[in-house]
């Protein structure tokens, strides 16, 4: 499979508005997208970095993956999203390599993308998300 780009770096935050304001002011860059992704239990805001994004993620409730992440370790990098051309082919490859998957097939991401999460174990503690445009 080809990892064509880093799609985004997902950063878990407790207060989305405060985090957006801090990123806006610090980098002098405007957010380009905001979306609630019910399937993932998050509201997210994207800041552009070249053709990639910084993705600020706030949980919709405490009993969501990002809610539990924040309760456990506080704010910080939650996952890295890699862009792929063919998500299902990428998942087939990981499966064949014995890499444990969180999602066996693609599901809706933001911006109309299809995404799948891969277990952090093989990737040395980093939760990986594959993103197909």
User: Which are the catalytic amino acids?
Assistant: 8, 44, 55, 79, 129
Asked if 43 is part of the footprint of Co ion (rule: CB under 5 A), the reply reads: no
Q: Are 94 and 118 in contact (CB under 8 A)?
A: yes
Nearer to Co ion, 41 or 81 (CB): 81
CB of 129 to Co ion, least distance (A): 5
β-pairing verdict for 114-118 and 107-108: antiparallel
* Binding segment (CB under 5 A) for Co ion, from list 11-19, 29-37, 85-93, 125-133: 125-133
Q: Measured from the CB atom, is 100 or 103 closer to Co ion?
A: 103
Please count the residues of this chain forming the interface with Co ion, following the rule CB under 5 A. Answer: 3
Q: Which residues of 75-97 are buried (b: 16+ CB within 10 A; e: fewer)?
A: beebbbbbbbeebeebbeebeee
Contact status, residue 61 vs residue 41, Cβ threshold 8 Å: yes
Among 23, 67, 129, 130, binds Co ion (CB under 5 A): 129
Out of 81, 87, 90, 91, the residue judged to bind Co ion by CB under 5 A: 81
The answer to the question of residue 10 lying near Co ion (CB under 5 A) is yes
The rounded distance, in Å, linking the Cα atoms of 128 and 133 is 16
**Per CB under 5 A, which region of 13-21, 22-30, 75-83, 97-105 contacts Co ion?**
75-83
Q: In 28-76, which residue ranges form alpha helices assigned H by DSSP?
A: 65-73
Give residues in contact with Co ion (CB under 5 A). Answer: 10, 81, 129
């Amino acid at each position: 499979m080809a990892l064509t780009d880093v799609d985004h770096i997902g950063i878990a935050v407790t207060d989305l508005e405060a985090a957006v304001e801090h990123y806006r002011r610090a980098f002098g860059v405007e957010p380009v997208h905001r979306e609630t992704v019910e399937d993932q239990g998050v509201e997210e805001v994207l800041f552009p970095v070249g053709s990639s994004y910084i993705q600020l993620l706030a949980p919709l409730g405490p009993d969501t993956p990002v809610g539990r992440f924040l309760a456990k370790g506080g704010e910080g990098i939650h996952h890295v999203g890699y862009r792929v051309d063919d998500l299902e082919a990428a998942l087939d490859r990981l499966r064949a390599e014995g890499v444990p998957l969180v999602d066996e097939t693609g599901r809706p991401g933001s911006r109309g993308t299809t995404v799948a999460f891969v277990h952090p174990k093989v990737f040395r503690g980093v939760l990986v998300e594959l993103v197909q445009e």
